[in-house]
Amino acid sequence: MIQLSGISKSYGEGQVLNHISLQVKEGEILSIIGPSGSGKTTLLNIMSGVLEATHGQVISEASQIGYVFQEDRLVPWLTTEENIRFVAESIESERLSYLIKTMGLQGAEDKRPDEMSGGMRQRASIARAFAYEPDLLLMDEPFKSIDYYLKGKIINALIQVWVERMSTVVFVTHDVEEAIMLADRIIVLGRKPAVILNEIKIQSPRNVDEEAFLKIKKEITNCWEEIK
Ligand SMILES: Nc1ncnc2c1ncn2[C@@H]1O[C@H](COP(=O)(O)OP(=O)(O)OP(=O)(O)O)[C@@H](O)[C@H]1O
Ligand SMILES: [Mg+2]
């Protein structure tokens, strides 16, 4: 679906990404995990095409890209429902209600972003991205400002919606547990200028038992210990 070859990115003198090569297969959920400031948002922006790499090549087959930004970019004067319709004009009412319900936003259909909490806005952004029916969905820390219990529910909802439509998903996080709960594969970035430190393929994606969970978690944190 998308292939990055030898991507490097510098902002002026400061190099952020150093020769990143990766491939995302159709229907796959890939998590990119890395410390704060390692260049995760930069990498997503390059994948989406809004930012150009300094070196390297992006080959993308995506025709419809959904993007859940790190800071929600809901239209401030529109309600939740209107924000969703804004990107998906012809969405059926039934589908709209389903997305609102799955994201736990019942009762907030007619609220504007400034009337909602950060977590609600984040969930509205996720609902909006799904309504757009992207073939490639990019999400930048989509579960931040969502509390632990609700996060589990939202991740399950996301899996449910993903199973129905099988979009290709790339999501960025610095939360190891989120990555393990959702991904088929995890790419671990180091500190700036980021290289790929490790790539972990999950044996039973979205169904990881406790033992495997701890093992993967250790593998990821060990990568960062080594570069401290
Ligand atoms: N437009 C820009 N101009 C100059 N430097 C930038 C720009 N955008 C990002 N950077 C720098 O590039 C580095 C990586 O930023 P980026 O936002 O990609 O990191 P991140 O991994 O997404 O961080 P976080 O986890 O905090 O969101 C940071 O040091 C940041 O200051
Ligand atoms: Mg970021």
User: Is 71 among the domain residues?
Assistant: no
Q: Does residue 125 sit within a domain?
A: no
User: What separation in Å is there between the alpha carbon of 147 and the centre of ligand 2?
Assistant: 19
Number of domains in the chain: 1
Q: Which residue in 72, 224, 81 sits closest to 142, CA to CA? A: 72
Ligand 1, pocket residues at CB < 6 Å:
11, 16, 34, 36-42, 70, 174, 192
Query: Residue 48: which CATH number?
Result: 3.40.50.300
**What is the reported pLDDT for 160?**
85
Measure 39 CA to ligand 1 centroid, in angstroms: 5
Domain for residue 139, yes or no? no
Q: pTM for the full model?
A: 0.93
Domain housing 21 = 1-64+172-228
Write down the pLDDT at residue 83: 97
Report yes or no on 147 lying in a domain: no
The answer to whether residue 76 is domain-embedded is no
Supply the pLDDT for residue 166.
81
Count of other CB atoms within 10 angstroms of residue 87: 15
Residue 108 contacts residue 124 (beta carbons within 8 Å): yes
Q: Which of 10, 41, 140, 144 to mutate to test the pocket of ligand 1 (most atoms within 8 A of CB)?
A: 41
pLDDT along the chain (228 residues), means of 10: 96 94 96 93 96 96 93 95 96 94 93 95 93 93 86 86 87 92 95 92 94 95 80
In a domain, 75, yes or no: no
Q: List the residue whose alpha carbon is closest to atom 9 of ligand 1.
A: 42
pLDDT at res. 228: 65
pLDDT at 84: 97
Q: How many helices (H) and strands (E) does the chain have?
A: 7, 9
Does 122 fall in a domain? Answer: no
